[in-house]
Amino acid sequence: MPHASAATPAGLVSSAAPKWTTEDIETLFALPFNDLVYRAQQVQRQHFNANDIQRSALLSVKTGGCSEDCKYCSQSARHEAKLERESMLELDQVLAAAKAAKAGGATRFCMGAAWRGPKDRDLERVLDMVRSVKALGLETCVTLGLLRDGQAEKLAAAGLDFYNHNLDTAEEFYGEIVSTHTYAERMATLEKARGAGMKICCGGIIGMGESRRIRAGLLAQLANMDPAPESVPINHLIAIPGTPLEDVPPLDPFEFVRTIACARISMPKSYVRLSAGRQGMSDELQALCFLAGANSIFYGDKLLTTGNAETGKDEALFARLGLRGV
């Protein structure tokens, strides 16, 4: 498994690390389903308790009106999705949500903002949120878009544990999905977050009409980071009415499970999160995703602007499967 992608900035990749090629991951994808899932489960058991599932709660602290044109997103000001634009939440609203998430069993609280990136005065308010949520004893994560020089250091100093910034797809397909910023800009932000000493939460969206090769390319890009992202959210596209991807044909659910398995095998020590789209999945499909190596979920009745699998249903599913929320 030789070489790294030329698009990967040096700071995120060590030349000594073993590298995954897109072809390596395509080979995994092509395995018989049983062989692939078995292999993923074996890898999972080398590094994790196979019955523990990490739970992260999400809160949109600034919703809608985004300048960017990401085709999947309800929050872009350029799409027709029916969404009320909201100003930034107050600190006490955020704290109330974080306390409720903690009481419900979440161990990480992730705050999202619909920005291309934070302005410095917005960042100050987010820093207050991070400090206060951290003081509750929760792990903290934010997803604020592209960072400018110095912003990652401020977030790290406020006690931020994870910066979420998804690559979302392979570089070759990125231009089909987003035109207002580039893949290279996203990589540069990841480098800033890593350089400031934070853990990285970075994954993508599956089911946007991409080919299997593109899915493999995304996973290779993630797996070649050194270290790999500690947290890898695998989102299933939620086809939101009014967005340009509203009519994308549905993906074969087994292809989604295969993607999870390939993520697990190529990033053995990372938490692989079964993320957006879980509400639309049957219990049986979710169980297959856990078997294929997913060991984290978004927990709570809402994602950012859309619904999530309800907490009561998750508790019942965990009980039926003997899973333990951690």
Q: Which does 64 bind (CB under 5 to 8 A by kind): ligand SF4, ligand DTB, ligand SAM, none?
A: none
Partnered with residue 235 across adjacent β-strands are: 205
Active site residue 201: yes
**What residue has token string 């903002």?**
113
Query: How far apart, in whole angstroms, are the C-alpha atoms of residue 85 and residue 77?
Result: 9
Nearer to ligand DTB, 235 or 270 (CB): 235
Q: Are 185 and 223 in contact (CB under 8 A)?
A: no
Q: Please, what is the minimum distance in Å from the beta carbon of residue 303 to ligand SF4?
A: 12
Query: How far apart, in whole angstroms, are the C-alpha atoms of residue 228 and residue 200?
Result: 8
Query: How far apart, in whole angstroms, are the C-alpha atoms of residue 230 and residue 2?
Result: 22
140 three-state secondary structure: strand
Binding to ligand SAM by residue 166, rule CB under 6 A?
yes
Binding to ligand SAM by residue 229, rule CB under 6 A?
no
String marking each residue 4-43 x if it binds ligand SAM according to CB under 6 A: ----------------------------------------
Angle ∠(282,288,291) on CA atoms, nearest 5: 145
Binding to ligand SF4 by residue 68, rule CB under 6 A?
yes
Site for ligand SF4 in 104-133 (CB under 6 A): 114, 116
Q: For residue 289, give the H/E element and its range.
A: helix 283-291
Partnered with residue 62 across adjacent β-strands are: 113
Other beta carbons within 10 angstroms of residue 167's beta carbon come to: 22
Catalytic residue among 39, 194, 201, 264: 201
Q: Which does 165 bind (CB under 5 to 8 A by kind): ligand SF4, ligand DTB, ligand SAM, none?
A: ligand SAM
- Among candidate residues 107, 117, 14, 102, the one with its CA nearest the CA of residue 67: 117
Binding to ligand SAM by residue 276, rule CB under 6 A?
yes
Active site residue 262: no
**Interface ranges with ligand DTB (CB under 6 A):** 58, 74, 110, 112, 143, 164, 166, 203, 233, 235, 238, 275-276, 303-306
**Interface ranges with ligand SF4 (CB under 6 A):** 66, 68, 70, 73, 75-76, 114, 116, 145
Instruction: List active site positions.
Output: 66, 70, 73, 110, 141, 201, 273
